[in-house]
Amino acid sequence: MTQMTTTPPVLQAEGLTRRFGGLTAVNDVTLALQLHEIHAVIGTNGAGKSTLINMLSGELPPSAGRLHLQGQDVTGWAQPKLARHGIGRSYQRNNIFLPLTVRENCRLAAQSRAQRAWRLWEPAQGCRTSHALADEALERAGLAAHAGRLASELAHGQKRQLEVAMCLATQPVALLLDEPLAGMGAEESARMLDLLRGLRDGHAILVVEHDMEAVFAVADRITVMVNGTVIASGSPAEIRANQEVQLAYLGEEEETHA
């Protein structure tokens, strides 16, 4: 009889909790990011999504719980160390260097993974490496044709693509994307969703997003948070059919229109 094996998660959170004084922003959250999977985290405002992604990326240490990256306990590791070990992170607001070119932004990101100082002039061998990583990342993100442009000249959607490219230049195994569709029109959103689908192969991707239509179109798995707690986790079909999720969002909608 053949025994089935389960691929271990790339990134696994177990009982993550974050307290700010007497306020518990995230309470006992457990989730796992699998390779070749897009895992979305959704929830109403104040649900704890941003605090959760900040703990997963090392921006905030957890008050309780454990975090494992590729089987290694990385609980309490700061963001720079987690980034060097394979966690790429984008933010709600653009986190790019507007006076630099698109390629230069990606080169700096590539250098940061190698623990070199952020500079545009470096030894020949390092230069070749960062150039190659930057160009590959821009190609995957659909920005190769814009490599020589200043980042400030890009449209909003292209700037969001550049943030993803900068993540890719660090050679991550896990991508944590905080509202990658924020402020986008329909065409830009469609382009970003296509990009995320293309990145699924070879990465574990976590997306925090408010655009529900986009989430259900792209996610393999969805985790729903309310008041810092996970109330449901499953496939898009399972989440659509979950009564507790429906009530949570219906209640929010009724309060909004009251």
Three-state helix/strand/coil letters over 10-77:
CEEEEEEEEEECCEEEEEEEEEEECCCEEEEEEECCCCCHHHHHHHHCCCCCCCEEEEEECCEECCCC
Going along the chain from its start, the domains and CATH numbers come out as 7-86+172-258 (3.40.50.300), 94-171 (no CATH)
Is residue 212 within 8 Å of 42, Cβ to Cβ? yes
**Which residues touch 1 (CB under 8 Å, ≥6 apart)?**
none
pLDDT tens series, the chain, 258 aa: 444 446 889 999 999 999 999 999 999 999 999 999 999 999 988 899 999 999 999 999 999 999 999 999 999 999 999 999 999 999 888 889 999 999 999 999 998 766 544 444 454 444 558 889 999 999 999 999 999 999 999 999 999 999 999 999 999 999 999 999 999 999 999 999 999 999 999 999 999 998 999 999 999 999 999 999 999 999 999 999 999 998 887 555 444 444
Q: Are 83 and 65 in contact (CB under 8 A)?
A: no
